[in-house]
């Protein structure tokens, strides 16, 4: 088994990528979005965190979270969110034959087991990952501009003055090779 090393920083800001099992495209469905929203709301009541940036694509999502000052446990938050979404979406997705390992862990085969986590180092790193998040639907050919994609925090960032409304429409933002994972 792989030795995954996570960076546990209390009050840290983190970039995450979560992918659906076998990259099945169900996250963009209305029932999936509602289940995800409810799971996040429920989890945030027990384990608060700030959502700094977010994009939801058919088979994966990217986000940046900031945890409370004395809290470093993003793993519990993701476990709860994934579990609540799996329970809520069970009736919408077809039954699949799962491996013994999935059955043993009582997993439903909606999510890949692992997720990518990157600790945001500074304001420049934050901005680069936010740009990656908001431009991601364009990169995947899902829309022509970030403004065309409604399942992200792009419009919230425009309202806050962090992006002009036409950001990413004329040219792709410069994204380094070390930004974002899928």
Give the chain's domain count. Answer: 1
CB 135 within 8 A of CB 57: no
Which residue's structure tokens are 């692992």? 114
Q: Is 130 within a domain? A: no
Q: Is 64 within a domain? A: yes
Greater model confidence, 50 or 182? 50
Q: Is 155 within a domain? A: no
Q: Is 44 within a domain? A: yes
Q: 74 is in which domain, residue-wise?
A: 13-122
Mean pLDDT of 130-142: 96
Nearest to 130 by CA among 147, 148, 153: 153
**What string of H, E and C letters represents the secondary structure of 86-114?**
HHHHCCCCCCCCCCHHHHHCCCCCCECCC
* Coarse DSSP helix, strand, coil percentages of the chain, rounded to the nearest 5 percent: 35, 15, 50
Q: Is 5 within a domain? A: no
CATH of the domain at 49: 3.30.70.1290
Using alpha carbons, list the distances in angstroms from residue 93 to 110, 128, 135.
9, 35, 29
Strands 13-19 and 60-66, sheet pairing: antiparallel
Tokens found for residue 100:
């013994």
Interatomic CA distance for residues 6 and 16, integer angstroms:
12
pLDDT in tens, 4-30: 677 888 899 999 999 998 899 999 999
Which residue's structure tokens are 């069970």? 90
pLDDT in tens, 160-174: 999 999 999 888 888
Q: Is 156 within a domain? A: no
Q: Is 82 within a domain? A: yes
pLDDT in tens, 32-74: 999 999 999 999 999 999 999 999 999 999 999 999 999 999 9
Q: Is 100 within a domain? A: yes
Q: Report residue 104's pLDDT band, with 50, 70 and 90 as the boundaries.
A: very low
Using alpha carbons, list the distances in angstroms from residue 2 to 5, 110, 114.
9, 21, 11
pLDDT, residue 6, reads 75
Interatomic CA distance for residues 170 and 20, integer angstroms:
31
């Amino acid at each position: 088994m792989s030795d995954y090393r996570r960076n546990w920083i209390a009050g840290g800001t983190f970039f995450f990528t979560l992918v659906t099992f076998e990259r099945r495209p169900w996250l963009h469905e209305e029932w999936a979005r509602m289940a995800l929203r409810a799971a996040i709301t429920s989890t945030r009541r027990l384990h608060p965190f700030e959502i700094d940036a977010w994009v939801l694509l058919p088979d994966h999502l990217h986000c940046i979270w900031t945890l409370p000052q004395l809290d470093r446990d993003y793993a519990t938050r993701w476990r709860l969110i994934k579990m609540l979404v799996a329970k809520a979406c069970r009736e919408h997705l077809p039954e699949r034959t799962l491996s013994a390992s999935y059955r043993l862990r009582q997993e439903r085969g909606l999510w890949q087991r692992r997720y990518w986590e990157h600790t945001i180092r500074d304001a420049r790193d934050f901005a680069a990952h936010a740009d990656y998040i908001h431009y991601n639907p364009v990169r995947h050919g899902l829309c022509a501009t970030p403004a065309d994609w409604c399942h992200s925090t792009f419009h919230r960032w425009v309202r806050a003055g962090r992006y002009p409304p036409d950001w990413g429409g004329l040219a792709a933002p410069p994204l380094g090779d070390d930004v974002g994972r899928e």
